[in-house]
Amino acid sequence: MPEAIVRLDGVSRRFGSVVALEDFDLSVPAGTVTALLGPNGAGKTTTVRVITGGLRLDKGSVRVFGMDPSEDGESVRSRCGVVSAKPALYDRLSGRDNLLYSARLFGIGDDHERIEKSAARFGIEHALKLKVGTYSTGMKTRLALARAVLHDPELLLLDEPTAGLDPESSRAVLSLINELARGGKTVLLCTHLLLEAEGLADQIVIMDRGRHVISGAPADLARKYWPNQVVLIDAENREGLEQAASFAGVLSFERNGHALVQLDDLARVPDLIKYLTDRGLRLTRVEPKIPSLEELYFHARGRSG
Amino acid sequence: MNWQRMLVVARTDLRQLRQSRDFWIPMAILAALFFVLFPTVLLLVLGAAQRSEVVRQIGATLDILPDRVKDSVQGPDPLTQAQYAMAVYLFAPLAVVVPLTISTAIGANTIVGEREKGTGEFLAHTPATESEIYVGKLIASVVPGLFATYIGFAVYAIIVNSIVGPKLGRIFFPTTQWWILMFWVVPPFIALALSAVLRISARVRSATAAQQASGLVTLPLILLAYSQSSGALVGGSMVTWMLGLVAWLGAALGLMRGTHAVTRERLLGVDQQA
Query: What fold is seen in the domain A223-304?
Result: Alpha-Beta Plaits (3.30.70)
A90 lies within 8 A of chain B by CB? yes
Residue numbers in B near A147 (CB within 8 A) = 122
In the predicted model, what is the mean pLDDT of residues B93-122? 86
Handedness of CA A81, A86, A89, A90 (dihedral sign): negative
Instruction: Give the global pTM.
Output: 0.83
Distance CA A282, CA A238 (A): 9
Give the best residue of A89, A90, A106, A143 to mutate against chain B (max B CB count within 10 A). A90
Nearest CA in chain B to A16: B274
Per residue in A232-241, pLDDT (tens digit) is 999 998 888 9
* pLDDT single digits (tens) B182-206: 888 888 888 888 888 898 888 888 8
A60 φψ region: left (φ > 0), alpha (ψ -120 to 50), beta (else)? left
Among the partner-chain residues B9, B117, B268, the one whose CB lies closest to the CB of A54 is B268
The C-alpha atoms of residue B129 and residue B108 are separated, in whole angstroms, by 20
Q: HEC states along chain B?
A: CCHHHHHHHHHHHHHHHHHCHHHHHHHHHHHHHHHHHHHHHHHHHHHHCCCHHHHHHHHHHHHCCCHHHHHHCCCCCHHHHHHHHHHHHHCCCHHHHHHHHHHHHHHHHHHHHHHHHCCHHHHHCCCCCHHHHHHHHHHHHHHHHHHHHHHHHHHHHHHHHHHCHHHHCCCCCCCHHHHHHHHHHHHHHHHHHHHHHHHHHHHCCCHHHHHHHHHHHHHHHHHHHHHHHHHHHHHCHHHHHHHHHHHHHHHHHHHHHHCCCCCHHHHHCCCCCC
Is A16 in CB contact (< 8 Å) with chain B?
yes
Segment A147-177, tens digit of pLDDT: 999 999 999 999 988 887 778 778 877 888 8
Q: Which residues of B touch A89 (CB under 8 A)?
A: 119, 122
Q: Flag if B8 and A52 touch (Cβ within 8 Å).
A: no
Asked if A170 is an interface residue toward chain B (Cβ–Cβ < 8 A), one would say no
pLDDT tens digits along A196-212: 777 788 999 999 899 99
Contact A92 B122 (CB under 8 A): no
pLDDT at B227 over 70: no
Taking CA–CA distances from B22, the nearest residue in chain A reads A92
In chain B, which residues have their Cβ closer than 8 Å to the Cβ of A77?
125-127
Q: Which residues of chain A have pLDDT under 50?
A: none
Q: What's the half-sphere exposure (Cβ side, CA atoms, 13 Å) at B236?
A: 6
ipTM of the complex: 0.83
pLDDT of residue A61: 96
Q: In this complex, do A80 and B20 lie within 8 Å of one another by their Cβ atoms? A: no
Judge: domain A4-222, CATH 3.30.450.20: no
Q: What residue of B is the nearest CA neighbor of A48?
A: B125
- Which pLDDT belongs to residue A117? 93
Domains of chain B by residue range: 3-268
> In this complex, do A53 and B264 lie within 8 Å of one another by their Cβ atoms?
yes
Closest chain A residue to the Cα of B267, Cα to Cα = A54
Each residue's pLDDT tens digit, B149-180: 888 889 989 999 999 889 888 998 888 878 88
Residue B225: pLDDT band by 50, 70, 90 thresholds?
low
Average pLDDT over every residue of B216-229: 69
Contact between A97 and B12 using a beta-carbon 8 Å cutoff: yes
Specify the pLDDT at position B274: 44
Binding-face residues of A in 197-256 toward B, CB within 8 A: none
CA distances from A129 to A118, A133, A177, B200 (A): 15, 12, 25, 35
Domain limits, chain A: 4-222, 223-304
Q: Are strands A203-208 and A211-216 parallel, antiparallel or unpaired?
A: antiparallel
